[in-house]
Amino acid sequence: MKAVLFDLDGILTDTANYHYQAWKALGAELGIEIDEAFNEQLKGVSRTDSLALILAKDGLEENFSNAEKEALATKKNDVYKKMIEQMSAADILPGIKTLLSDLKAKGILLGLASASQNGPNILEKLGLKDFFDTIVDPAKLAAGKPHPEIFETGAKQLNVSVQECIGIEDAAAGVQSINSAGMAAVAVGDKTTLRAAAKVVASTNELTADLLTAVWAE
Ligand code: B16
Ligand code: MG
């Protein structure tokens, strides 16, 4: 194992609830109800694709021009950015800081493979930016998760092969992306939703350098 590629939302920190609240507020303005079950489909999905899913839910895709859709996505992002302004190291999920330190000490390369264009800003707020050797820019990708491109790009940027990487995710779309890239996936969350992963744990606390090495060696 030469590198570990991390998802952000749901793995390094829990921004999912902020995304949910920001989409819910936009949905309320549009008369579209977004509940927790529907929100599950938006996890790991890009801003543009999330908006498309929300509009399609009530058959409203055709009611908006591309420029209007862009304005709606920007509106959601402005609300989201306000919500994450106060984030700090206190918002790092359990066990993550130790994991990053342990992997670094072993000389393992670390990459961020998040669909979020706010990723670099959030890493900065969490004080985790220096751990990362590379950050994939999701704006430069042709296709988002579940397509493998984001994880393949991460490996490329680190100059390692996909077989030398482990990918860590909390979303089904993300696990599919890791698997399709030809990497081993370790997932955090529900065993049924994430059953496509090589290993599923219930909490980020269970993510250790030893566990990742063992899954990689399988
Ligand atoms: P932004 P991840 C994803 O992060 C979120 O899970 C998803 O809900 C969000 O729409 C997406 O990032 C894009 O985020 O609007 O900040 O560009 O799980 O891939 O780290
Ligand atoms: Mg995620």
pLDDT in tens, 19-75: 999 999 999 999 999 999 999 889 889 999 999 999 999 999 999 999 999 999 999
Q: Concatenate the DSSP letters of all residues of 76-131 into one string.
A: HHHHHHHHHTT--GGGBPTTHHHHHHHHHHTT-EEEE--S-TTHHHHHHHHT-GGG
76 CB under 6 A from ligand 1?
no
Q: What pLDDT does 74 receive?
A: 98
39 CB under 6 A from ligand 1?
no
Q: What pLDDT does 63 receive?
A: 94
CB contact at 8 A, 192 and 186: no
Helix (H) or strand (E) holding 152: helix 149-157
Q: Count of CB atoms within 10 A of residue 215's CB? A: 16
170 CA → ligand 1 middle, Å: 12
Q: What pLDDT does 157 receive?
A: 98
Q: CA 34, CA 199: separation in Å to the nearest integer?
A: 30
* Residue 203 pLDDT > 90: yes
Q: Report, as an integer, the average pLDDT of 151-162.
A: 98
Q: CA 94, CA 215: separation in Å to the nearest integer?
A: 20
CB contact at 8 A, 81 and 117: no
Looking from the CA of residue 73, the nearest atom of ligand 1 is: 15
Please state the pTM of the whole predicted model: 0.92
98 CA → ligand 2 middle, Å: 19
Q: CA 171, CA 6: separation in Å to the nearest integer?
A: 12
The answer to whether 49 is a known catalytic residue is no
23 CA → ligand 2 middle, Å: 16
**Sign of the alpha-carbon dihedral angle for 129, 131, 132, 138:** negative
Q: What pLDDT does 80 receive?
A: 98
Give the residue among 174, 138, 137 at the shortest CA–CA distance from 16. Answer: 174
Task: Report the percent of the chain where pLDDT is more than 70.
Answer: 100
Looking from the CA of residue 42, the nearest atom of ligand 1 is: 8
* Residue 213 pLDDT > 90: yes
Quickly state the pLDDT bin for 146 (edges 50, 70, 90): very high
Among the bound ligands, the one closest to the CA of 50: 1
42 CB under 6 A from ligand 1?
yes
* Residue 91 pLDDT > 90: yes
Q: Where would I find the beta strands (DSSP E) of the chain? A: 3-6, 109-112, 134-135, 165-169, 184-188, 199-201
The answer to whether 130 is a known catalytic residue is no
What is the rounded average pLDDT for all residues in the chain? 96
**Distance from the Cα of residue 1 to its chain's centroid:** 21
pLDDT in tens, 179-202: 999 999 999 999 999 999 999 999
24 CB under 6 A from ligand 1?
no
Q: What pLDDT does 40 receive?
A: 86
Looking from the CA of residue 7, the nearest atom of ligand 1 is: 20
Amino acid (1-letter code) at residue 187: A
